Amino acid sequence: MSVELTPIGLLHSPFSQKFGIPRQSAGLTDIPGYITLHTPYDDINGFRGIEAFSHLWIVFQFHQSVAQTQTFSPLIRPPRLGGNDKMGVFASRSSFRPNNIGLSLVKFVDIERSNGQTRLHISGVDCLSGTPVLDIKPYVAYADSQPDAVSGYASSEPEASLTVTFSPDLPRQTPELLALITQVISLDPRPAYHQSPEYQVQHPDKVYHLRLYDFEIGFIVDNDSQAKVITINQ
């Protein structure tokens, strides 16, 4: 028996494209976002007591992957393995899943009801803006945190591998935007094969572009550890 899932709201984030979105970013970044709730799920009573929890699980739909998933593929290429080795889809958090359902851990910031709209403010966001939210659940430390758990090929958190600098010719920007750009680029959003020394030698002037809010940011990687932002256009 099939069950139709009804989104309860939409997640809004700085990300309007997939490139640049950190993976599993709770604890790695404080990238802001918020969820607007649809009626009748926008009743503020449904969130009574949520401020007692520091973190939340967001259950969502990989909405841009739905149209691309035509047939089931049992194997995927996890980015953590450089995009070369194959793993079973159920041994991964790939967006190309049978039901395109994702799970994200975020930090609770605030809940507000204003101008007829309920907004749940969160941070550590790792989703596209406009992502349909299917459910929200509190993170419960004694059950959800297992210190002795084994995490396979994702046994350690990714480190900020790039030092980010800004061209002195850039137009003046807010400290908040510069901090956001730094967080995103420092985690090296480039495809894994672009990070190889061979690729960098062959493409020394490669410019990467990502979008945050209404800004298009261009950056280059000078070597294995230095990234320079060369354009910020709106």
Cβ contact 131:122 at 8 Å:
no
Tens digit of each residue's pLDDT (9 = 90 or more) over 176-221: 999 999 999 998 888 877 877 777 778 888 999 999 999 999 999 9
Nearest alpha carbon to residue 184 among 212, 205, 222? 212
Q: How many CB atoms lie within 10 A of CB 212?
A: 19
Tell me the domains of the chain and their CATH numbers. 9-144 (2.40.30.70), 163-233 (no CATH)
Residue 206 token pair: 């490669």
User: What pLDDT, in 10s, does the model give residues 85-129?
Assistant: 888 888 877 777 888 889 999 999 999 998 999 999 999 999 999
In the numeric block, which tokens belong to residue 112? Answer: 């507000």
- State the chain's maximal CA–CA distance in angstroms: 60
pLDDT surpassing 60 at residue 154: yes
Q: Residue 98 and residue 169: Cα distance in Å, rounded? A: 47
> Residue 41 has what pLDDT?
97
What amino acid is encoded at 39 in this protein?
Answer: T
